[in-house]
Amino acid sequence: MASPTTSTAAFAASNGPTRSNFAPHRKNAAQRNRSDSPYQQRTTQKDNPTQVLIKQAVDYLMQQLEAGHSETLAAYLSTMARFHNYSFGNILQIARQRPTATRVAGFGAWKELGRFVKKGEKGIQILAPVTGYRRRKEEAEGETDSKPQPVLMGFRAVYVFDYEQTEGVDLPELEHTISGEVGSNRDRLIAFLAQQNIALELTENIAPALGVSYGGRIALLPGQSKAEEFTTLVHETAHELLHKAERRTITTATVRETEAEAVAFIVGQAVGLEMGTASSDYIQLYKGNAALLAESLQVIQRTSAVILGALQVDDEQFTAAS
């Protein structure tokens, strides 16, 4: 959940915390290709308790996605639209002058967001394009109804300020509203990963990502709550089971993140966590929707069943495996 250090990474932080999967993808993915993966085989017990839990969670997530953006996500996206995407040259300029910068904007932009530059703060100089209208010679000699096209005339120095250089109204954030007791499920999931020869590590180097799936290795960001860490680990486990073989060549980032986060939502719900709108917000950040979820439904259900099966082994089996 997931992707992501120099200050250039800090600008990615303005898009909110993510879970990441770095595998390359080339084709659109709403294709239902058969796979030899054991995590994509059909389940035979349609009415067993696990399948009932999965169906209930899928139905609820579908309802959230069909309802559209939550208020939190809508506010977040609206705010992020105020921040510009800076050129590589300007990113280097910002990194040189203020390496700790996270979100930068001009004086006026901050004012629109209800924040004001603190007295005595020094601006970060970057270059802004200057555009104008330059009429062609043939247009000047004859009459034409076409409007002149804007062209780049040059650049001028402007100043921007980092978030920490301002004060005022707090910017909306995507809150991690996942809560509840994880119990022994974390240890059981880690034991399952060990059985699959998937290594696990904690590292701050992946920030601002919460987790990263590398293929045979998962990295998690330290400092997450137990509930959030568990669902992040489930998300990355789904990437490991689904997106490191043939499916990575037939899936887009939108499909991969929809599938992995849907699995995280289902498993979280099944073990009793309060998931809120965190998963639906995350999927919609990646431009996912209910229709896309439906396209991947079989894969999502099977993968969720495999992970839940690993969490539901009896205590004797778990102790022996440990």
pLDDT values of the chain reduced to their tens digit, one per residue, 322 residues: 443 333 333 333 333 444 544 333 222 333 333 344 444 444 444 557 788 888 889 889 989 888 888 887 777 777 666 667 777 788 788 888 988 888 899 999 899 889 999 999 999 999 988 888 766 655 555 555 666 777 888 889 999 999 999 999 888 766 666 889 999 999 999 999 999 999 999 999 998 789 999 999 999 999 999 999 999 999 999 999 998 877 777 888 888 999 999 999 999 999 999 988 888 888 888 888 888 888 888 899 999 999 999 998 655 455 555 5
The answer to whether the beta carbons of residues 130 and 151 sit under 8 Å apart is no
Tokens matching residue 34: 């058969």
Amino acid code (one letter) for 80 = M
Distance (Å) of CA 224 to CA 103, 178, 229: 22, 11, 5
Please choose, from the candidates 119, 131, 117, the residue with its C-alpha nearest in 3D space to the C-alpha of residue 159: 117
C-alpha 81/C-alpha 85 separation (Å) is 10
C-alpha 194/C-alpha 214 separation (Å) is 15
C-alpha 257/C-alpha 239 separation (Å) is 8
Whose tokens are 């301002």? That residue is 166
C-alpha 60/C-alpha 313 separation (Å) is 26
Report the side by side order of strands in the sheet with 124-133: 104-105, 150-162, 124-133
Distance (Å) of CA 313 to CA 37, 123, 198, 211: 21, 58, 19, 25
Please choose, from the candidates 252, 297, 283, the residue with its C-alpha nearest in 3D space to the C-alpha of residue 29: 252
Whose tokens are 């800076």? That residue is 86
Tokens matching residue 101: 């910068």
Whose tokens are 């639209």? That residue is 81
